[in-house]
Amino acid sequence: MDLLRLGVRKFHSTPSCNHIIKMSRLRVVDNSAIGKEAMAEGRPPKVIHVYTKTGVGTIGDKVLMAIKGEKKKGILVGVKKHQPANIPKFDTNNVVLIDDSGTPLGTRIHAPVPHLLRTILKERTIAKKCDYSKLIAIAPRFV
Amino acid sequence: MLLRNIIQRSLTKVRVNVQLQLERRNATVASPVTLDENVVRPEAKELSKSDQKFNSLQQRFVYPEFLPNPTLEWRNPIREKLERIDMMRRRSQVDLPEFYVGSILAVTSSTQHAVSKQTRFLGICIKREGCGLRASFVLRNVIDHIGIEIRYFLYDPKILKLDVIKLEKRLDDELYYLRDALPEYSTFPEDMEPEILPDGMPIPINTTKVVMKPRPWYARWERTHFQGINRELMMTHVSEKMKMQIPLHEKPWEKYDLMKQYRSTIPEEEQKDIFAEVDSELHKLELLRKKQKRKRAFVKPLKSS
């Protein structure tokens, strides 16, 4: 058993994929009180669920996060993950906190947001259920 | 006997390649090409500098995407030729100027996602790769304190305009280390004024040595030999164990590996054939663009008040 354990390599030989999965840490880029506090404390939110079939999140996907002992939902607005041509790849995994109806908790976003997000969120908006138009409206800058 | 012949032939090719490589190093200092007989002749001296640029040995730096991928299994002369025709067609539609890794570019491209159906991104070119129609480049900029990178395909029909804001070279072939350098080295204002390099001037080389952020890094930069990193300051972030591992990963024999060089380059004769095909058209296009630029410069004089 010990020999087997010795045989297991304890280092990575490939670069990380930067996938957003459960337990990933994100960066809150809006000015909601809870998000600001969590970032200032140095305890950024941790993903506890990704609402996709693959379990890997990318631009526009909804995630459930543990933030300051609470469960909050958020929309990914910029990811580190490798992106196809013409789509921006960010240096950090950015998230905007939302409530269950899709309205952002904050009133301002500090980071640029990809143009693609506009289309994705428009598709995912369901009348009277979740409305993401406010999130798009408070985005300051598109790249 | 046959084997010896084959070996001799391949060795001569390798020698040509090594010459090319050496010359590539010299070319960054903009020395005149001495390999080509045409340049040595006295009448060639009377040629203007723009004409000298249309020398097939220089063109491999200006238009690297015209050279196919040297991997033997992937070579296909017919496909390469067809791609070259398509590339020239695209070039007749949009101005794709000369640029290098380290130049600052602004790309205006059309997207269905934007309200105005257009977007512009300005940044430093940190990587150029791919051959033929698949040639691409990566731009990097820091906007609102967040680093952003976008990859563009050079021959993408979505590209409406490619502006070279600052034409210059860096000390390295790729600048991925800017991701782990201080943000000031990849921050460029969106409304940067284009700097026009006088005609016939050699491309300036930016010798900035970037200062790295503390670890964790995207790659093990201490094991690389990039000239553009301030090595002394970088080593302050590196642990003793990592320093001890550096010599274990060095490959000093690689610069003597002639076969490796041969396999990763296109032989000179082939390069000449390829550029002979597209030479006249490229030259025509360049002259046309120059004329248009002069016209535009004349129509719009700068207001001074």
Q: Which residue has the tokens 């994929």?
A: A17
Q: Are A104 and A134 in contact (CB under 8 A)?
A: yes
CA-nearest of B274, B260, B205 to B57 is B274
Q: Does B133 touch chain A (CB under 8 A)?
A: no
Locate B207 and state its tokens: 């010798």
Q: What is the pLDDT of residues B114-153, one digit of tens each?
A: 999 999 999 999 999 999 999 999 999 999 999 999 999 9
The region of weakest confidence among A117-121, B18-22, B100-104 is B18-22
Q: Considering the domain boundaries, does residue A1 fall inside one? A: no
Higher pLDDT residue, B23 or B94?
Answer: B94
Query: Does residue A100 belong to the interface with chain B, where contact is any CB pair within 8 Å?
Result: no
Chain B positions in Cβ-Cβ contact with residue A87 (cut-off 8 Å): 150
pLDDT at B174 over 60: yes
Query: Residue A6: inside a domain, yes or no?
Result: no
pLDDT of residue B40: 38
Domain assignment present for B205:
no
Residue B283 within a domain: yes
Residue B300 has pLDDT above 90, yes or no: no
Furthest C-alpha separation in chain A:
60
In chain B, what residues touch A143 (CB-CB under 8 Å)? 119, 121, 143, 148, 150
pLDDT at A16: 78
pLDDT value at B238 more than 90: yes
ipTM, interface predicted TM-score of the complex: 0.89
Position B209 in a domain:
no
Q: Tell which of B108, B113, B182, B186 to mutate to test the A interface (max A CBs under 10 Å).
A: B113
Sheet holding B136-143, edge to edge: A89-90, B146-153, B136-143, B118-129, B104-110, B159-166
Q: Which long-range contacts (CB under 8 A, 24 or more apart) does B237-241 make?
A: B237/B212
Report yes or no on A76 lying in a domain: yes
Report if residue B265 sits inside a domain.
Answer: yes
pLDDT at B38: 40
Contact call for B147 and A94, based on CB within 8 A: no
The whole-chain average pLDDT of chain B stands at: 84
Q: CB-based contact (8 Å) between A83 and chain B? A: yes
β-pair type (B104-110, A46-50): unpaired
- The pLDDT score that the predictor gives to residue B295 is 74
Give the C-alpha separation, B68 to B82, whole Å: 12
Predicted confidence (pLDDT) at residue B32 exceeds the cutoff of 60: no
Q: What is the DSSP string of chain B?
A: -HHHHHHHHHHHHHHHHHHHHHHHHHHTTTPPP-SSHHHHSHHHHTS-HHHHHTSHHHHHHHSGGGSPP--GGG--HHHHHHHHHHHHHHHHHS------TT-EEEEEEE-SSSSSSEEEEEEEEEEEE--GGG-EEEEEEEETTEEEEEEEETT-TTEEEEEEEE--B-SSS--GGGGGB-GGGG---TTPPPPPPPTTPPPPB----BPBPSSP-SS-GGGS--TTB-HHHHHTTS-HHHHHHGGGG--GGGGG-HHHHHHTS--HHHHHHHHHHHHHHHHHHHHHHHHHHHHHHHHSPPP--
Assigned domain for B286 exists: yes
Q: Inspect the interface and report whether the beta carbons of A91 and B219 lie closer than 8 Å.
A: no
CB B123 within 8 A of CB B141: yes
As to burial, measured by CB atoms within 10 angstroms (0-12 exposed, 13-18 middle, 19+ buried), residue B231 is middle
Domain span at residue B283 reads: 1-62+258-295
Contacts of A93 (CB under 8 A, 6+ apart): A18, A20, A24, A25, A26, A27, A76, A78, A79, A80
Residue B108 resides in a domain:
no
Cα–Cα distance measured from residue B28 to residue B171, given in angstroms and rounded to the nearest whole number: 9
DSSP helix/strand/coil, A90: strand
Give how many domains chain A has, as a whole number.
Answer: 1
In a domain, B238, yes or no: no
Residue B5 banded pLDDT, cuts 50, 70, 90: low
- Considering the domain boundaries, does residue A2 fall inside one? no
User: Residue B231 is which amino acid?
Assistant: R
In three-state secondary structure terms, A123 is helix
**Cβ within 8 Å of residue A54, ≥6 positions away:** none
Joined together, the tokens standing for residue A126 give 């369901």
pLDDT digit string (tens) for B239-259?
999 999 999 999 999 999 999
Residue A143, in any domain of the structure: no
Output the pLDDT for position B36: 40
Cβ within 8 Å of B, A 114-143? 114-119, 140-143
User: Is residue B93 domain-resident?
Assistant: no
Domain count for chain B: 1
- pLDDT one-digit tens code per residue, A88-140: 999 999 999 999 999 999 999 999 999 999 999 999 998 888 899 999 999 99
The whole-number average pLDDT for the span B19-36 is: 43
B219, A86: Cβ pair inside 8 Å? no
Q: Is residue A29 part of a domain?
A: yes
Closest-CA distance, B146 to chain A, in angstroms, reads 6
C-alpha to C-alpha distance for A34 and A106, rounded to whole angstroms: 9
Is B218 part of the contact surface with chain A (CB cutoff 8 Å)? yes
Residue B235, pLDDT > 70, answer yes
Residue A127's CATH number: 2.40.150.20
**Best residue of A86, A95, A116, A142 to probe chain B, by most B CBs closer than 10 Å:** A86
pLDDT tens-digit profile of B46-93? 444 445 445 667 888 999 999 999 999 999 999 999 999 999 999 999
A40-68 pLDDT, tens digit per residue, is: 999 999 999 999 999 999 999 999 999 99
Q: What pLDDT was estimated at residue B11?
A: 54
Amino acid in the structure at residue A38: A
